[in-house]
Structure 1
């Protein structure tokens, strides 16, 4: 299987090593010192006391690789506008393109059931026109990542969840794509858990609950994701965030039925990507993770006081460091 990982950072680099070691023809798109290190020494993955290596083709130009069987767009949501104009050379008529970004994603309104409320007009939804000029809707695969990773050094990925690495994939149109079952089996063979998530938008909202409640709260308190489990007051704020997020999902047609106590119990001792991005001065997914749910709440006329507060603090911290666009604003 020819697989191109668009963005060989933390999660993308992890998957690249796993898939290459499982025998697949893997290429990666990267930049700067990270790209130079991959070309020179390959990719290294440190996980659970192991150090795994893989030599993969690496470039910063999608045209170098040509059409693939599978493309995994493993970048942050903030990079999607640039990728939308670059991805076409990788996409053939049978290519599956997986988008496993955190937060609200560009394809959410594409094929949304007519019975569901119309979503708010978010800037990220404007990317659909450009992406769908390069691929058909049936080639677009939603993805959800549950895996804690960080770039430890150029060309070196550290995995902080050796027993919890999962990539869930499903068609955005709600109908199973025949090739997906075989693809999930290949992920499993590469030691990447890949259960069928069922309805992919339900899976997006489920991950958003954990992103906002765990990662968002960890970011504004400069704490690992499991900080909410270790502090009584933070645990209560986590519960309130989770309940508000589930109410937003329900108002838009997705009943999640999550138990906040179980979510808290499963929190990993890991510095979430939002906090990593903030500390390292990288563009942040505040709009997609924290502010998009607020817009959905406003569209449903829901009161979300805890989310309002945490999102406003998150946006202020990111704006003060110039890590979000000047046009990003909080409507509370």
Structure 2
């Protein structure tokens, strides 16, 4: 099958390499020094699930690729709207655009540009990043990728995607019956993990050791779950407890990508995380003071880093 990886960074580069190793036609879309390295030296993945290296066509212009069966949209959340405007050359009649971003809004943003019929929801559970241009480093996480049609249909294109992912080494493939529930499930955790490590500028181990910070970690998740349920999302009753137990077992030195971006003067996904919680909460009349506090503390930094 023919795949375009729009945003061949930590998530997209990992997926692209694994799919290429499984024999699929894969095209990478990237930019800057990373693109230069992909074109001259190929893509190398250093992974706890096994290293690999592939030479794949790479470009910054979707016109070079043409229509694909699948577009894996793996940009940062703040780049989604711009990327959506560039998708048209990649789209055939039944092309699936699978959105793998943090947050719960990307699918809607993409659908507004390319149409609901093209958009598939996706959730990525993987700790990976661009180690250096041309090199993706996968340091942990289950490398689990969850996906599904937004209306819950068990379509042929999702079945084929599931087969492709399942047959690729290093990918834990999950076809979700309700992808919206899966999006909010992860959203609850990442708002807490990202929010607390970024605002404290300390790793999860220090957050756990402070009773006040650990309580705020929990409260952030409770707020997100409350908003989700007010919107009709069927999240399980024990979700917050489940995530707290997961967070207790994390490497105490672990931070988050939001913390990394904050401390490396990079654009931040604050609007897609805590800004989104506040907007969704306002729409359903729910108070979310902990998420609003994170948003208020980090907003000046997000503004500064985006200049």
CA distance in 2, matches of 1:235, 1:301: 26
Q: Map of 1:1-332 to 2, 5 A cutoff?
A: 1-48=1-48, 50-108=50-108, 125=109, 128-132=111-115, 137-161=116-140, 164-190=142-168, 191-225=170-204, 227-257=206-236, 258-267=238-247, 268-269=250-251, 270-319=254-303, 321-323=304-306
Deviation digits for residues 114-171 of structure 1 (CA, Å, limit 9, x no counterpart):
xxxxxxxxxxx4x643222xxxx2321110111111111001111111x511111111
Distance 1:96 1:35, change over 3 A: same
Question: Does the 8 A contact of 1:215 with 1:225 survive in 2?
Answer: no
How far did 1:227 drift? Answer: 4.8
Question: Does the 8 A contact of 1:239 with 1:260 survive in 2?
Answer: yes
TM-score relative to the length of structure 1: 0.85
Deviation digits for residues 45-103 of structure 1 (CA, Å, limit 9, x no counterpart):
11128431111110111011111111101001211222122111111112111011111
Question: Does the 8 A contact of 2:111 with 2:118 survive in 1?
Answer: no
CA distance in 1, matches of 2:239, 2:195: 18
Deviation digits for residues 210-229 of structure 1 (CA, Å, limit 9, x no counterpart):
11111121111223455544
Question: Does the 8 A contact of 1:138 with 1:171 survive in 2?
Answer: no
Question: Does the 8 A contact of 1:246 with 1:255 survive in 2?
Answer: no
Name the SS for the 1:142 alignment partner: strand
Question: Does the 8 A contact of 1:65 with 1:90 survive in 2?
Answer: yes
Q: Which has the larger strand fraction?
A: 2
Deviation digits for residues 210-265 of structure 1 (CA, Å, limit 9, x no counterpart):
11111121111223455544443322111111111111111111131243332123
Distance 1:66 1:313, change over 3 A: same
TM-score relative to the length of structure 2: 0.91
How far did 1:104 drift? Answer: 2.6
Q: Which has the larger helix fraction?
A: 2
Structure 2 runs not aligned, ≥5 long: none
Deviation digits for residues 273-329 of structure 1 (CA, Å, limit 9, x no counterpart):
21222223222111111111111112222222222212211223322x2438xxxxx
> For structure 1, which segment, 262-271 or 306-315, has the greater mean C-alpha deviation from structure 2 after superposition?
262-271
Question: Does the 8 A contact of 1:4 with 1:29 survive in 2?
Answer: yes
Question: Does the 8 A contact of 1:213 with 1:238 survive in 2?
Answer: yes
CA distance in 1, matches of 2:122, 2:202: 26
> For structure 1, which segment, 308-317 or 87-96, has the greater mean C-alpha deviation from structure 2 after superposition?
308-317
- Count of aligned positions: 301
Name the SS for the 1:282 alignment partner: coil
CA distance in 2, matches of 1:259, 1:171: 23
